[in-house]
Structure 1
């Protein structure tokens, strides 16, 4: 018990008045006794202990138990002056207050805070060449719980909104879409991602691309590989794509679980954790030549094709088809030797290139530079 500076008495002893000697009689010193002697303040015999008290301390935290798509408000918990005491120092008393705040502030905020609907707002602009859609969005109540965003795209407001691009950087609130077809309206919306899931999606924004179908600067000019790309024939030999001809048989692959189609919109809906395939052959039913002013180069030339070319990749453990313009370092490709190789580099080429769109029927897969890929039917608009 702390020393208060008061000296108290446990027993009372009786003395003779004439000489002040003790009679030998004692009794307890209790407050109910008329002879009770109260404690006396004696800092000489009982030096008083020093006591230190905290100054005001506060901690502000955000309510963190809201549902997906909601942001919690900030709440401040206060340790008031003199709420904590120490016999060591003011710093020690303040540390007690701080420890108490650390232990209780989040519970306090979760009980007293409120949840606010946190729906992002998206907008878009079209580039001067009409073939890039620039998207940006804001989050009204941005908070530390946001871990990223899910962007959606569709060509049909009455159709399915399929996930288009997953963005895992909370501070990145923009995206430029270059995987576009000419004279096409694209619709977008975005949702925030947190540990509790995806928020309610944003408003819808849309843009209509320009007319670049002639293959002039800025346009894709089609969707296929550049000249010099080696295509595998059924006997295992290879021929440059510009040397192919109509009705020529190509080595193809029938993928289990895939209902093969020349409709890009349907292909984008397919995905599989495994890739089981058997080799078949399929003839070229259409082959043209065009100029392209934008191509995607993968792994320093292993593949080079226009951004809208359909490519088989593995991402996050799933095989799927994407536009080549959406390929990322870390994706995987499937080779003619049944090997899986990683994408190690992706870059954009803006120099004029000759490309050779081709169509196979009834099967649509083939091997370009030893990589399993897919043909593309002109006029189809990709909707990954």
Structure 2
């Protein structure tokens, strides 16, 4: 059984109250006994194994086993929050949920969906949409009449907000394609979609119905209040006391073309870390609140799950989200020492954080550990 962090007791031993010595008498520590001692939290002696649970996810598909002349309904299968668990990362738990949805959504739709007579003689597409698990992308899908095999493509239109103007968004030059994955979207924005089918170079169906989804807010990314940041003279300053244009001790890592684009940053790796100390000014800093943080080594580091952190795993140095680190990874200290990660916990209490941006190098030292700052969050 994995450790829960709680220490329990199988036996109770009787002691004399006057001198605190044992009487030698013992008895089972049973719940029914008035002397029962319940398990208590002791994360030092019984360090719990970190568990990551999936967030709620869903997938909508169309029942596809209806007879000719009938259209299937759209059915949504939901993977409830906490349905899947991982000892690796939140991403892994969500990937388990996504895989389960991929394997079961169509079976579920064919079992639970309904077939209705096609009342769409003009073959107008019917459009649907669903939001990705991280709330940043939208999957758009559509169906047209099964009675018309002559569709050669589609045109997808999109608008932002209910009062926005419809804009041509994408041509789909394949009549067999019935979905589109829309990403690089603005946060906290409602996107509307509609589509029309193409039969010939000049023949189009009417526009479909409209569908919409609202993207999630930007998740703040940085360290919590009280984190000590190293300045060029080697002393440390609490992150909440830092000022715009203040210089921080930074470093240039050999072979790394430093960037605040996490997609490029996460493609870098090396087997031997060489770095040169420099200084970089803060060009942006602000105060935000985070609903969840990751705590490493009982508080050595505490930041939001998406914060980019330098780690060594299997002998390879690379940057990954802090939420993906595991026990056994290594950190790199300001004294060029390797610090093993011995514990990883999720803290669900609200914490004040201070996202900051540096230039030209995006690295700095938090509590003496080399880390990376974030891609700036737009206001």
TM-score (norm 1): 0.46
What is the TM-score with the length of structure 2 in the denominator? Answer: 0.47
